[in-house]
Amino acid sequence: MQEEILGQEQGQKQGFLPVEVKRIMKSLVKQGDVMETALFHIAIDSMLRSSDLLKLRVETVMYQSGAIKEVFSLTQSKTGRKVTIVLLEPTRKWLKRLIQEQNKQFGDYLFTVNGLFPIHPNWYRRIVKKWAKFAGISNVEEYSGHSTRRTKAMFLYRRGVKLGTISKALGHKSLTATILYLGIEEQEVVNDLRQNSLWRPEPETEKVLKQHSLWQDQGSYGQSRSQQVQFEQETRIKRVLSPEMVARLESLSEEELQERLGTN
pLDDT for position 256 = 60
pLDDT for position 227 = 57
Domain count, the chain: 2
Question: 210 with 184, same domain?
Answer: yes
pLDDT for position 240 = 45
Question: 242 with 128, same domain?
Answer: no
CATH number at residue 23: 1.10.443.10
Distances from the Cα of 220 to the Cαs of 17, 155, 191, in angstroms?
10, 12, 23
Q: Which of 115, 114, 145, 141 is nearest to 127 (CA)?
A: 145
Question: Domain ends where: 188, 205, 222?
Answer: 222
pLDDT for position 187 = 62
User: pTM for the whole thing?
Assistant: 0.71
Question: 131 with 237, same domain?
Answer: no
**260: CB partners within 8 A, 6+ apart:** 252
Compute mean pLDDT per 10 residues along the chain, 264 residues long, and list them. 39 81 95 96 96 96 97 94 95 97 95 89 95 94 92 91 91 89 71 60 68 64 54 51 56 59 47
Residue range of the domain that includes 105: 1-222
pLDDT for position 222 = 46
